[in-house]
Amino acid sequence: MMAVQFDGHGDHDVIAYNETPTPTPGPDEVRVDVKAGSLNHLDVWTRRGLPGLDLEMPHTPGSDAAGIVDRVGENVSRFEPGDRVTVISGVSCGTCEFCRNGDSTLCVRYQIIGEHLPGVHAEYAVVAEDNLVAVPADVDFETAAAVPLVFGTAWRMLIDRGDLSAGESVLVVGASGGVGHAAVQIAAHAGATVYATASTAEKRRHAEDCGADHVIDYTADDFADEIRSRTGRRGVDMVVDHVGEATYPDSLRSLAKGGRIVTCGATTGPNPGAGLHRIFGNQLSVIGSTMATPGQFDDVLSLVWDGTFSPRIRETLPMSETARGHELLENREGFGKVVVIPDSER
């Protein structure tokens, strides 16, 4: 089979589309004939290399993919050949205190397919039965591949960790990205007043289409000042920030007294100033969030399957052009998700 791979960490030129042996599923595993995958910023960080990440090379990246069950292991009971499925990429041990208490994302041995484990951007991918969700017949594979990681992450951030309520106000920083455009839709669905930042008129129009009530051009205006102005100097109840160092100080300044910032990432860097004077002075909460539990994935995916939420796809590429997809993410070109399709499927 053909698979996206890299032999070492580096820039886009380390990405190749190579011939590699087709994997065989183990007793509790399923082999998926991949019809579509999608890229996340996690793929960029994995390619560049992360502290403490020691991968067996060559490494196949990719956390999101959808396709048709091709073969099942002897212990598999939920799926059979011909079933349509998508991948949820969090892998937990099932036995630590956090798993036993029902929150697998806190697992002491938590891993993510495509980051710590071989990924799914290949013609065929083998994953554990527990990491698959059935896809309805009326949902196309590009949609099914584009939603799990970003919508699951955004759902946990806003609904579970952020405890968002109808009538509150939310600022989504970086609304054009995968998590950002999912967060806008989820916040609007929850009944919040949604503010969103984006750099171009086209991206701001897309954010409004996703449900943003107010959009801010962060390249022209200090978004914290703009939020204070538009809210009568009150600020918003919640900020969703996955950007990190570049936006964190202004995210804190955008909060109302007693507000909370929820973060799932730091694409511009992980070490901003803490802003402790603002945190204790205004009694703010800084909340971390990672991925989603299987139940949270089920909750948000059901709202994708029925059309309540819809991923925006900025570009669809053959897997042999995955390097170009990384460029789109790194250069912040376009709005929404980048989908990659095995060359044999195009």
pLDDT in tens, 55-84: 999 999 999 999 999 999 999 999 999 999
Phi, psi at 304, each rounded to 5°: -80, -45
- pLDDT digit string (tens) for 218-258? 888 799 999 999 999 999 999 999 887 788 999 999 999 99
Q: Domains plus CATH for the chain?
A: 2-147+311-345 (3.90.180.10), 151-288 (3.40.50.720)
**Percent of the chain clearing pLDDT 70 (strictly above):** 100
Is the pLDDT reported for residue 341 higher than 80? yes
Q: Measure CA 48 to chain center.
A: 18
pTM of the predicted structure, to 2 decimals: 0.95
Give 128-176 pLDDT, tens digit per residue: 999 999 999 999 999 999 999 999 999 999 999 999 999 999 999 999 9
pLDDT of 248-286, one tens digit each? 999 999 999 999 999 998 777 777 888 899 999 999 999
